Structures are given as C-alpha cells and as structure tokens.
A and B are shown apart, each in its own frame.
Chain A
Amino acid sequence: MTDLENEKRKQRRLAALGTNEPKCPCCGETDWRVFEQDHIAGRARDDMVVNICANCHRKRTYDQKGHPPHNPNNDPQLDMIGHFLLGLADLLKLANERLSEFGLFLIALSENDDHDQVQS
C-alpha cells in the first residue's frame, strides 16, 4: 500500500472521529490508529459518542455489561439519562485510575536517587 493510500485511510478515519487530533480522555493516548467511538449511554439509547482508545474502550465495554439491563417498561428519557451518567462515571473511573497511577508514579520517581536527573 502506498503512502498516499495510507494517508487517505488516516484522513478518512480522522474525519470519522470528527477531529484531527484525537486524545483519549481516559489515558491520554493520541495515536489515531487505535481510536474508536464509544456510545456513552449505549448505542441503543443515545447517539452521543466519545473518542477513546481501543484499550479503554474494551475496559469500558466490560464495565458497561454490569449496568442494569434494558427494561422496555422504563421511562426512556430517564433511562437514557441514567445510563449516560453511568457511562460517564465509567469513563471518569478509568481516568481516575490513570491519574492515581500517574500520581503514584511521580511519588515513586521522587523517591528515586536519580530524580534530579529526570527533572533536568
């Protein structure tokens, strides 16, 4: 495949993602090749999507399976809002994990003898 063909695929993908500079809100990943669109409230409930990397999307989908199942007797509006908030909480949880990891990493780094070199 030529460079031009690759470039076309990349541009098609970015157009689909709706941005030229995708960034995963959960982990900070920026490689356009691993991005997917995640329906925050679930595909069946709402169109609103967020661009996240495939790893985080997989984790998110796993968590989503734990959400209350679809009940046709529920008020659809409230059901949608409820699932949207659960989805948002999942994303924030992932971001939270990452932030905690990063915080612990920085503390570990600060305990390291070489931290001056790292800082410089």
Chain B
Amino acid sequence: MSTPVDEYVDCLPLHLRAYAILADARPKSPSAAKRPKLAPASDYTVVFDTETTTDPSQHLRFGTFCVYRGENLFRSGIFWAPNAVSERELETLRRFAADNGLDLLTRNQFADDILFGIGYDLRATIVGFNLPFDISRIAISHGSARGKKMRGGFTFKISTDRRRSNIQVKHVSQRMAFINFTKPFKQLHSRSQRQRGDKIETSLDHFVDVKTLASALLSGGYSLASLSKHLNVINQKLEFDEFDGPISDDMIKYAVRDTHATWECYVELRDRFEALGLTDLRPEKAYSEASIGKACLKQMGIAPWQQSQPNFEPQKIANIVSAYFGGRSEVRIRREIKQVMLCDFLSMYPTVCSLMGLWRFVTSKNKVTRDATNEASAILSNVTLEALQSKEAWLNLAMLVRVKSEKDIFPVRTKYQKAQTATIGLNKLTCSKPLWFTLADCIASKLLTGKPPEIVEAIGYAPGTMQSGLKPINIMGNADYRINPAKDDFYKRVIELRHETKEQLRFAREADAPSLEAAQLNLKTNANSTSYGIFIENNVSDRMGKATLSVYNGIDEPFNTEKSKIEETGVFYDPLLATLITGAARLMLAITETLVSQKQLEWVFCDTDSMAIAKPEKMEQSRFIEKVQSIINWFDSLNPYGFGGSILKSESYNYSHVNGKILTPLFCFAVSAKRYVLFNMDENNKPMIRKASGHGLGHLIAPYGSNNPATGIPQPFQSVAKIGVPLWQHDLWWKIIEAALDGHPFQVDLSYHPNLLRPAMSRYAATSPALLAWFKSYNNGKAYRDQVKPFGFMLSLSAQCILDDERFFDDWSKRRPAVKPLKPIAPFTRDPEIAALNALDRVTGEPMDRTLLKSYVSVLASYHLHPENKFWNGAYMECGTTKRRHIIADSANHIGKEANNWEQQAVLGLDSNESIIY
C-alpha cells in the first residue's frame, strides 16, 4: 500500500539550542570565593526625584529630596537647575521652600552635599523610582561605561569636583538596571595601608530603584501611581498634568509628594523584603523574582548544581539543552468565534516539579545517569492515557530519549514560512539524524499519533546523595511557614502553604486581609522564582573583541567558532530541570488535547498552562459543560498537594461577572499564538470583553485615552485593568469581534477614532550608548542642556514600504541592490504631528517626509490577520482549523538564548544581530 502524499511538507533546518563555552575556559579563581563580605548600607537613606522640561531634551528643572536616618526625617529640600529656572520661578521655589521648611539648593549643592556628602560618604541607600532616568537628569555629562560588568551602559559625571566618583548605569530591562558609583579619583588607602598591602573593599552600589524592587516582590510592572495605590501608602502620588507651564506651587507640591510616595513605597517594600528572611540578599540586589529565588535556595544551604558537580561533561549538557523548548503556545481554531471554557493548570511548573520529584535533584550533590534505553522503550510501548493518571508514572519522566523521528509529533523550532525569527510549533517531524527529546515529549507524541517514536538510546537521570549542610527556613520569617529542604518537597509545601493562606484570606477579618494577601503573594513569588527560570538562566554579554567558543550540540560534532556575544550561565543553571519541567508541562497540554478529542470537543488555543476548550456547534450547552467538567476531573488523581481537587481549573472568566458562581457562555476569537480575546454577549447581543491580549500592541503609545473615547464603542463593562489591556486596545478588539459577528472578519473598520489617522508612535528610552548614537546628527551643535540624553525618551515610528524605490535596471546581469528599509525615529513629544515633523531616519540621520510614516490605521490594519505561520491554514487570509505541518529536517542551526534584548526589538523591530547562531 502506498503512503498518502502529505500536503503540508516543508523542508526546513531545525533551530536547536547549543551549549557554548569559552574554548580556553579556566576554573574560577579560588580568590573570588575568599572575597570579604562587604558592609551593607548605613541607616541613612537619600530619596530624590526630578522634574524635567517636556521638550525632547527633558532637561532638569528642579527636583526634591529627603534624607532619612532610620525612619526619621533628617533633612529635606528642593534643588534646582540654574540654567532651566527663570528668576520668577526661582522666587516661587524660594517661597515654597521657606513656607514648608525645606532647604533650597542648586543642582551642584545637591550633588556635593546630599548625593555625595550623605549618599556616598555616609554609605546611604539611594532611593528613587526609575533611578536611571533621575540620575541621568542630574548629570552634567556622560560617556560610555567601561568594565566587564557595566559595558554597554553609561557613566555619568555628577559633581564638578574632579575627586568625586561618577555613577555608572547599565540598563538590563525596563524593570532593572545595574547602578553603582565608580571608584573616586583619589587614594582610598593611607600610605601605611598601601605599604602593608591592606585593601579595604567598600560597596558602592547601594542604589535601590523602587520600580525594580516592586517588580521583584510583586511580580508586575508598576508606575509610582499604581504602586502607591497598590501598597496603599499614606501619601499617594498626586495627579498633575501642566508640566508645560512655569513652575507653580502645585507643581512643587506634586514633586514633593512624589518623593514622599517613593519613600513610603520603599519602606513598605523593604519591610516585605525583610519579611522574606533572606539574610544573604540585600534590597539593592533584588533585581527580579529570580534574585529572590536564588537567595531562597542559598538560604537553605543549597549549592548550585554546577558547583557541586563541576565535571559534568559539556557534551551531556548540550544533549540536554538541545531538548529544551519553552512553553507551548498555539492556536487551533483561527479567526472564528467559538464558545469556549478556559481552563488552566494550578501552578503548572511547581506542580510538575512536585510530580516528577525534582526537588530531590535540587538538593542532591550530583546527578546519576544510567542507560535507560530498554526502560524508555517499555514505557513508550505500554503507556496509555489511563497510566498517566497515576502519580508514579510521572516519577519516571526524568529521562532524555534520542529518537529517530518519522512523522512523530514533537516541538519543532524553525523559521516557518521564511519568518525572521524561529518559533516553536508542535508539528510532525521527520529527521534523518537522531534528536534528543524528553520522555514526556515522546509520550505526548504517542498520545497524539498513536505510535511510539523510534528510540535510538535513552538516558535516565536520578538524584545522587543529598547535599550536606541543608538548613530549614521559615518563609517570610514565619514559623508556620517552616520548610525543611532535606525532608520536605519545597514546591509542594509552598503551594500548600499558599492554598492555606488563601483559604484563611477568604474568611479573614478586614484588618488581617492585607497581611494575608501579602503572604500569599510572597509564597507565590517563592514558588515561581525557584521552579523554572533560574535553571535555564543565560546572560548574554558583549565582548570588546571576538572570543573562541567551543560549541557542543545535540546533533553534530562539537566545533569551534568566534563570537563577540558570549552566553554566561546563571548561578543555579541546571538545564536538565528546565527541560524536564517544560516537557512535562507540554505533556499536560497533550493529555488535555487528547481528552478534548476523545470527548469530541474542540479547542481554540493553548498557552503554556491553559487551554480554551471549544463547544462544537451542535452540542448542547449542558453537555458541553459536563464534558469539560469530566476533563477537569480526570486530573484529580494527579494532585500532589495535601488539599483536594483537580490540578486543572475552570477559570473565573467562565463565570458570570455579576455572580461569580454561575457559568455563562464565554466566546473566544483567536488570531494567532497569544493573540486572542474572550467575551460574553450582552442582552443586546453586543460583545462584552472579559479578557484581551495586548500581544503585538504593547509597544505602541495609546492613540487616545478615556478622556477622549471612541464613538460607537461601548465603554468596557469592567475596569480595563481587569481586562488586561488599555482602552484603545479594548476598542480594537471590540471592532475585530464586531466585524466577525457581522460576517466580514477580514474587514475591520478602523475609522472609529480620528487619532488613528495620526502617525503610529512607540516610546522607548535611549538606554545604551548605541541607541543614543542614533540622535548624533540631531544633537550635533546643541548645548548639553538641549540634547537628547541617556535614558531620555525617544520615539520610534513606522515607515511605509517605498515602492518607488524599486528601480528598474537595464543591466539584468547585475544583482539588484537591496532596498534598505527606512527606520524613522523622532525626539520625544506627546504630539504625533510634531513627531512627524522632526522624524529622521536613524540609519542615515536624514529628515523624513511625513507621507512616508505609517498611521495607526496602517499599523493596525493587519493585526487581526496576523498569521500563525507554524501551522498550515494559518496564513493572513486563512481562517478555521489549523493543521500541523510536516517538517522534514536534515540539518540544524545551533542557536543560543532566543529572547535576547527582546524589549528593544519589540519597539524597534527585529535585529538579527541580537540572535545568537553558532
């Protein structure tokens, strides 16, 4: 019998993660371990904030500061920039300062007396909200930072006194930056100390950006306004809009309040941080959830795997890394309105960690490997859906299998449809070379295809002997939250404690609610920060020159290459755990998909830990609910926790927004992975959006706000914060749904607001010397005061395709020169028309014509058509059910970290230099 021709075959090279190390890597110097412990900051705190002009230079006008000793206010005042304040404004500042008992200093006095006189000399903690911006405003000049850690950042000169230090700032992400004083231009040690060879190490980095601390502790992005509201501090940020006008009492009051709000938020966050009881981590070093996770593991005396088993062969690490794929995010039914029930897994990653017993790996001295080829063959031959309902089955999943894939369904990372970036899709894969996958992925393939993949070999992993010196900890210093790492499964215990706390919260008195809420959030931070990301942490650094790397990979022989971008693994790097965790999470989704199929249901999309299960057209509502409930119940037996219930949950969006206990029809319209909207229909048969995705829109500045709403679109029935997107994105989704309901899903009317005809703008900050260099031609000849400066905001605009640039050539023997796309940018302004007037091409520095800029309408025109390239029937003008592609891969590109510098790329477009291909 002949095999039917497969219609959707693509021959593409795979993109597999590789493990690259410096060819001449030497073990770390033992002296690094002996470095003395540096003193923490003293009990002084300097808090400051700046107010700037609203022109593109965003030059300092004045600022406010407070100095605290302990909790007591020691000194407070206002500082002003002599070259930006008029005589009249100065009078206003003088009067305000005198009336309110504040010191009035010039910028120079503030720098010398407060920032250095107290901040540096008294080893104070220097606190601000978005500190890089404020530091750059008070600077008198800047340059590129030097040194391994700070390369790619800025050095700011703050004081006119040459002996004083500079401040270095290196932007890492929107939520974090490294900030420190440089060493001062004077002898730090006395002659006798130098003669004796004594070196006094001092810490120069007591800078706390409240924005960073908040995102590390509260897992989200905050403005000062939203943070002060969230933390319910006494002095909330005031509202004030008239920054264009002269300095007024209201403006100064607003600025003073900002400093107070920053201080109060800092105190609240510092107390919450201290409650975590992490003695080895200081607030200024809590850059993210991962910092907290790592400190938590250290607190328990856990040694990182690469430290405790340094001789694990690089080739074995490469095999593991090649099997690593992130979470599964796909759309199955595209651009059709479907009634759904959204279900998500309870704390997916901690749950699979617990089911697979991964905590024992974290606490073990080493990993023990074994040949598990026969074991894996037996498991794959015998595994059934029912067998996976047993918790014991999940304990056997710590295995990597090398398979020869022949139309098996595996995560496939490649550049589908000649896309610029590689994405991961669960597709049929045929590859002549054997590839490594987790056993969980192999089981998922068997569930989806009905046949086990052909095994070449398998390696089983088991935890070795337990590390000595493990210490019990009281999470948040609370004896009720005690965890013994040697006996307890940390992940299981933390989720149980969180569940208990949430139960207490349901019946708590009003006075107890905030502390219980903070506790459950802290427990969530603990679980999330220790269960995945830290195990696959790779930090990419740029070198001055190229370095020779040895690239180990899972498919070919190791080879050497030269690169200037180097990947450095994080402290708790343990790729086996990360690979097993995401593999098991994909298996959970594959089980759900299989159950959905068995119950003759459909699904619209899945995203890492959730799936929108769809009701077939002719099925009755009650039958649909019953079937979804039976799928939820299927997972009851996999609950590893002390409390009962399924690990698959019905999301709150499935219930009425009025009465949270009544199921109500929920509809979904999904465009592509992570782009979807969920809504109910109101009594007039109009959509009421419950949840929308801002994926692919977040970089655009809102074209309008609630003070100037669109006509003809009902206001959101609940706050936009609950929907998850700002008003203008809600409106866009509403119009997309309306078009689909009216039977013309391809044509979405975008004429509902006049502001959509304005040039589309994205805001970004000049966070590195390379980004700032784009404004070289703009800055040329301008005084420092008027230049676009580091961390100042800039605008990125979109350019139309230039058809008339495609010239005719009479000499066809020559290759046609490539058309270089225009890359418009503009100095920051809130007015799109002014931005259009000042737009220039960032490559050439030439001014750009207004007609070449895309409007919001042009940029959004194809948003609702965005393709799901990884599947067949996912192109722009296609809709309905997507089908898996069949990828035939005979070669592989070896890649490094996929999401490098993605924030910048989201705004400025994809940059091929940021991706690492070995």
Contacts and interface: CB of A to CB of B under 8 A. Distances in A.
A20 B40 contact: yes
Given A16-B200, A18-B37, A43-B196, A11 B121 contact: yes
B826 to A, nearest CB: 46
Given A14-B39, A15-B202, A18-B39, 12 more contacts: A4-B117, A7-B122, A8-B121, A11-B42, A11-B122, A12-B121, A15-B39, A15-B123, A15-B200, A16-B202, A18-B36, A47-B34
Contacts of B123: 11, 14-15
A4 B120 CA distance: 13
A17 B39 contact: yes
Contacts of B117: 4
A14 B121 CA distance: 12
B39 A20 contact: yes
Contacts of B203: 15
Nearest to B34: A47
Interface string A9-32: 001101111111000000000000
A7 B203 CA distance: 17
Nearest to A5: B121
B200 to A, nearest CB: 5
Interface in A15-61: 15-20, 43, 47-49
B43 interface: yes
B701 to A, nearest CB: 45
Interface in B172-224: 196, 200-203
A20 B37 contact: no
A20 B38 contact: no
A48 B36 CA distance: 8
A49 B39 CA distance: 14
Contacts of A11: 42, 121-123
Contacts of A12: 121
Contacts of A16: 200, 202
Nearest to B121: A8
A49 B202 CA distance: 16
A1 B729 CA distance: 62
Nearest to B200: A16
Nearest to B203: A15
Interface residues of B, number: 17
Chain A contact residues (Cβ within 8 angstroms of B): what range?
10 to 19
A18 B41 CA distance: 10
10 cross-chain pairs, A with B, having the tightest CB-CB distances, nearest first: A16-B200, A15-B202, A8-B121, A11-B123, A18-B39, A11-B122, A15-B39, A19-B39, A11-B42, A18-B37
A4 B43 CA distance: 14
Given A4-B117, A8-B121, A8-B122, A18 B34 contact: no
A14 B196 CA distance: 20
A18 B123 CA distance: 12
A19 to B, nearest CB: 5
B297 to A, nearest CB: 24
Contacts of B200: 15-16
Interface string B395-408: 00000000000000
Contacts of B122: 7-8, 11
A43 B198 CA distance: 10
A89 B599 CA distance: 75
B202 to A, nearest CB: 5
B617 to A, nearest CB: 70
A61 to B, nearest CB: 15
A8 B123 CA distance: 9
A39 to B, nearest CB: 10
7 contacts: A4-B117, A11-B123, A15-B200, A16-B202, A18-B39, A18-B201, A20-B39
A7 to B, nearest CB: 6
Contacts of A18: 36-39, 201
A43 B195 CA distance: 13
A14 B37 contact: no
Interface string B594-623: 000000000000000000000000000000
Given A4-B117, A7-B122, A43-B196, A14 B36 contact: no
Nearest to B36: A18
Chain A CB within 10 Å, residue with most, of B36, B39, B121, B200? B39
A23 B196 CA distance: 25
Contacts of B43: 20
A17 B36 CA distance: 10
A18 B117 CA distance: 20
Interface in B845-886: none
B620 to A, nearest CB: 70
Chain B CB within 10 Å, residue with most, of A11, A16, A43? A11
B69 to A, nearest CB: 9
Nearest to A15: B202
Contacts of A14: 39, 42, 123
A40 to B, nearest CB: 13
A73 to B, nearest CB: 24
Interface in B110-151: 117, 121-123
A17 B200 CA distance: 8
A116 B32 CA distance: 54
A7 B122 CA distance: 7
Interface in B309-363: none
A73 B34 CA distance: 26
A77 to B, nearest CB: 13
A11 B69 CA distance: 13
A49 B196 CA distance: 14
B824 to A, nearest CB: 49
Contacts of A19: 37, 39
Interface in B32-68: 34, 36-40, 42-43
A8 B121 CA distance: 6
Contacts of A17: 39
Contacts of A43: 196
Nearest to B196: A43
Nearest to A49: B36
A43 B199 CA distance: 13
A36 B867 CA distance: 69
A12 B120 CA distance: 10
Interface string B244-279: 000000000000000000000000000000000000
A20 B206 CA distance: 14
Interface in B580-606: none
B51 to A, nearest CB: 28
Nearest to A14: B39
Contacts of B196: 43
Chain A CB within 10 Å, residue with most, of B43, B121, B203? B121
Contacts of B36: 18, 47, 49
A1 to B, nearest CB: 14
Contacts of B121: 8, 11-12
Interface string B89-122: 0000000000000000000000000000100011
A43 B196 CA distance: 9
A47 B370 CA distance: 44
Nearest to B193: A16
A24 to B, nearest CB: 17
A44 to B, nearest CB: 10
Interface string A60-102: 0000000000000000000000000000000000000000000
Contacts of B38: 15, 18
A4 B74 CA distance: 12
A23 to B, nearest CB: 14
A15 B202 CA distance: 6
A82 to B, nearest CB: 19
